[in-house]
């Protein structure tokens, strides 16, 4: 906050200085996102993003999972500011090559393409952070998941935060309390955490992220034996670290509640999946979602809205990047 010296000021000057301080505080901390932020400045923004994203997913349905994950990885690292989209440069150490994202995060080119279309109709208006938030919603809706009204008005970071990817993104071997603490630090409840984890009903995981689980039958790693045997066919005990396997074998490209049904049957692929149903405090939520697709969908949409509120840049903070992979000159 800007510093204003108040000592020895006349009453009118004192009041003016006080108002200046209040204005700065409001500008920096109380700026609000709005679902109609672009209603006047770029009225076709949402339809433009929708067309671009849905066309891309129609060509490769797996991209729906990738876009949801990209938004998650953006918001959990220094807030929803599109820092994950910045490319490596002399002044930027990119998050793209940080361990949690390297050879894993996908969909950058889809965001770039949607942004390029926006720049032709309303240049310098729609942020990359907002494009990513809307893309995640469109991805969910296109593959049968819920839709929601995306709050808009975020601005783009001028920095990347690769070190924070290691501390703020959930580790695939984390225990339940660590996950609860991790999500709690972002203002998300255990119910939000379980609902958001349901995005793992889509997409694929690399062998190294679940190898220990499928080759271990310890009490901390409860797993259905038949499921483990099936998964070993695509993930050898040694080598093949990058081999991909569907998170949900039944409906890998459709958004549904099979993820939670799998957990109840001890068929969660990642340790951080199965730990949600392993005799702990989130068992009841998993059971509820396994029985009620509508409750899961409603809670997922609500949790996505909350996640989109994590530390956005608003007002005069950050910038509206012209190209999502680079800060403006």
Residue 153: both structure tokens together = 């008005």
| 95 marked ligand binding residue | yes
User: Which listed residue (69, 71, 73, 115) is catalytic?
Assistant: 73
Classify each residue of 255-288 as buried b or exposed e, where b means 16 or more C-beta atoms within 10 Å of its C-beta. Answer: bbbbbbbbbeebbbbbbbbbbbbbebebbebbeb
Contact present, 63 and 56 (Cβ < 8 Å):
yes
| 77 marked ligand binding residue | yes
| 294 marked ligand binding residue | no
| 201 marked ligand binding residue | yes
| 251 marked ligand binding residue | yes
Q: Identify the residue whose tokens are 């679902």.
A: 35
**Half-sphere exposure of residue 107, counting CA atoms within 13 Å on the CB side?**
33
DSSP string, 125-172: TS-HHHHHHHHHHHHHHHTT-------B--BB-SS--HHHHHHHSPPT
| 248 marked ligand binding residue | yes
Chain centroid offset of residue 219 CA: 31
Chain centroid offset of residue 64 CA: 12
Classify residue 7 as exposed, middle or buried by CB count within 10 Å of its CB (0-12, 13-18, 19+): exposed
3-state secondary structure 255-316: CCCHHHHHHHCCCCCCHHHHHHHCCCCCHHHHHHHHHCHHHHHHHHHHHHHHHCCCCCECCC
| 74 marked ligand binding residue | yes
Q: Does the annotation count 73 as an active-site position?
A: yes
Which of 201, 207, 210 is CA-nearest to residue 286?
Answer: 201
First to last CA, the chain: 26
The span from the CA of 254 to the CA of 200, in Å, is: 10
The annotation places the binding site at 74, 77, 79, 81, 83, 95, 170, 200-201, 248, 251, 256
Q: Which residues are annotated as a binding site for heme b?
A: 200
Active site residues: 73
Q: Residue positions in the annotated binding site for Ca(2+)? A: 74, 77, 79, 81, 83, 95, 201, 248, 251, 256
Binding-site residues for substrate sit at 170
């Amino acid at each position: 906050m800007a510093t204003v010296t108040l000592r020895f000021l006349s009453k009118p000057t004192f009041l003016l200085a006080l108002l200046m301080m209040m204005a700065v505080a409001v500008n920096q901390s109380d700026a609000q996102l709005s679902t109609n932020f672009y209603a006047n400045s770029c009225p076709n923004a949402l339809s433009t993003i929708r067309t671009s994203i849905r066309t891309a997913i129609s060509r490769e349905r797996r991209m729906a999972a990738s876009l949801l994950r990209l938004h998650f990885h953006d918001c959990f690292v220094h807030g929803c500011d599109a820092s994950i989209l910045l490319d490596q440069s002399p002044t930027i150490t990119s998050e793209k090559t940080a361990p949690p994202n390297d050879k894993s995060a996908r969909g950058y080119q889809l965001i770039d393409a949607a942004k390029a279309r926006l720049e032709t109709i309303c240049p310098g208006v729609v942020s990359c952070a907002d494009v990513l938030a809307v893309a995640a919603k469109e991805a969910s809706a296109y593959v049968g998941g819920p839709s929601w009204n995306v709050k808009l008005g975020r601005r783009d970071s001028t920095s990347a935060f690769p070190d924070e990817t290691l501390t703020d993104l959930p580790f695939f071997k984390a225990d339940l309390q660590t996950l609860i603490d991790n999500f709690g630090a972002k203002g998300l409840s255990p119910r939000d955490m379980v609902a958001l984890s349901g995005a793992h009903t889509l997409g694929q995981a690399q062998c190294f992220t679940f190898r220990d689980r499928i080759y271990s039958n310890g009490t901390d790693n409860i797993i259905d034996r038949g499921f483990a045997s099936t998964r070993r066919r695509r993930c050898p005990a040694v080598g093949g670290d990058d081999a991909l396997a569907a998170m949900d074998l039944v409906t890998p490209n459709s958004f549904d509640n099979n993820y939670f049904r799998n957990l109840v049957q001890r068929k969660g692929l990642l340790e951080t999946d199965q730990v949600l149903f392993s005799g702990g405090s989130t068992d009841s939520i998993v059971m509820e979602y396994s029985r009620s697709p509508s409750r899961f969908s409603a809670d997922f949409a609500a949790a996505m809205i909350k996640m989109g509120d994590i530390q956005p840049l608003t007002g005069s903070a950050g910038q509206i990047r012209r190209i999502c992979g680079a800060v403006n000159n």
